[in-house]
Amino acid sequence: MKEIEVFVQAAKEAALIGGIVLKENFRKVKNESIEEKAEKDFVSYVDKTSEERIRDYLSRRFTEHRIVGEEEGGDEEGEFVWYIDPLDGTKNYIAGFPIFGVSVGLTYRKEPIAGAVYLPAFNSMYWAGKDMGAFKDGKTIRVSNTSDVKFSVVAYGFPSRAKRELDTYWLIFKEVFDKVAAMRRPGAAAVDLCFVAEGIFEGLIEFELHPWDITAGIVILKEAGGNYKMLEKGLKRDIIASNGKIQNFLEGIVSKHIKEA
């Protein structure tokens, strides 16, 4: 598809537009300006402003495309659909923890084909397009070559409001933790996927996600040579991702405990 480069550039520009909002307000959000959308699910004027500006930019550039965002939702029925997470890692952001980002991804007939994830606190941009490769700040990135589980670092995540299978999540964590070098919980799925793509982590297991959390990250991971499996349960997605070399190990543990549950 010839337009891929155009879409990737638009994703980068859109992520940067949202990221400017996040940069300007980092460590300035007051508790009284934070809303609770659901139990332990927070949103602030920063999330909303970031999404509004990204939507405005994309809707002017691609009038026929659909746009779906975390805060305002949207229509997913269309050939081209943009998925926006205007602030991935809201709790991190509110706390002043610098692991957060803006994720902008595009699907064509449900397939992720272009995406960008911007980390404002580090001024780092990850991006990729189908068959174009994956990049960070202009340099090609690739997944880790580590194949030995005992030397692998795995990111793990589930929402703090999780009620569906909390005991199951702990059992999975325990078994993976027992066999790998280390586990980390940065708290931002889009960022975690980029860290796997870059070779920082060998694997990732995260539960109860939405398309805006992972669309851009999936493109970046795949183009960096990684692999993933998606488990869909209603509107939520569980994702198991890796450098490809420890994928079977991670899938085996998740599958065993999910079935037992």
- CATH code of the domain in which 230 resides: 3.40.190.80
- Please count the structural domains in the chain: 2
- 12: which 2 tokens? 């980068």
Q: Are residues 178 and 127 in the same domain?
A: no
Does residue 127 sit in the same domain as residue 174?
A: no
Say whether 85 counts as a known binding-site residue: yes
Last residue of a domain, one of 140, 161, 196: 140
What pLDDT does 27 receive? 85
Same domain as 70, residue 23: yes
Per-residue model confidence as pLDDT tens digits over 168-189: 889 999 999 999 999 999 999 9
- Which residue among 106, 122, 140 closes a domain? 140
170 with 58, same domain?
no
pLDDT at residue 29 tops 80: no
CATH code assigned at 57: 3.30.540.10
pLDDT band at 166 (very low <50, low <70, confident <90, very high): confident
Same-domain check for residues 19 and 104: yes
Instruction: Examine the domain organization and report whether 36 and 124 are in the same domain.
Output: yes
Judgement on whether residues 169 and 55 belong to the same structural domain of the protein: no
Is the confidence at residue 115, as pLDDT, over 80? Answer: yes
**Pairing relationship of beta strands 203-209 and 153-157 according to DSSP bridges:** parallel
- The annotation status of 87 as a binding-site residue, yes or no, is yes
The answer to whether residues 132 and 156 belong to one domain is no
pLDDT one-digit tens code per residue, 180-227: 999 999 999 999 999 999 999 999 999 989 999 999 999 999 999 999
Averaged pLDDT, 62-71: 92
Same domain, 101 and 174: no
Q: Are residues 98 and 159 in the same domain?
A: no
Range of the domain at 167: 149-260
Say whether both 24 and 78 belong to one domain: yes
Arithmetic mean of pLDDT, 9-36: 83
Query: Taking a C-beta distance cutoff of 8 angstroms, is the pair 149, 182 a contact?
Result: no
178 annotated ligand binder: no
Residue 41 in this model has a pLDDT that exceeds 50: no
Q: Check whether residue 123 and residue 228 sit in a common domain.
A: no
Non-local CB neighbours of 224 within 8 Å, separated by 6+ positions: 128, 133, 134, 141, 142, 143, 196, 197, 198
Give, as one character, the DSSP assignment of residue 22. Answer: H
Beta bridge partners of 54: none
Quote the CA–CA distance of 180 and 208 in Å, as a whole number: 23
The answer to whether 77 is a known ligand-binding residue is: no
The answer to whether the annotation marks 70 as part of a ligand binding site is: yes
pLDDT score recorded for residue 222: 98
**CA dihedral over 250, 159, 67, 14, signed as positive or negative:** negative
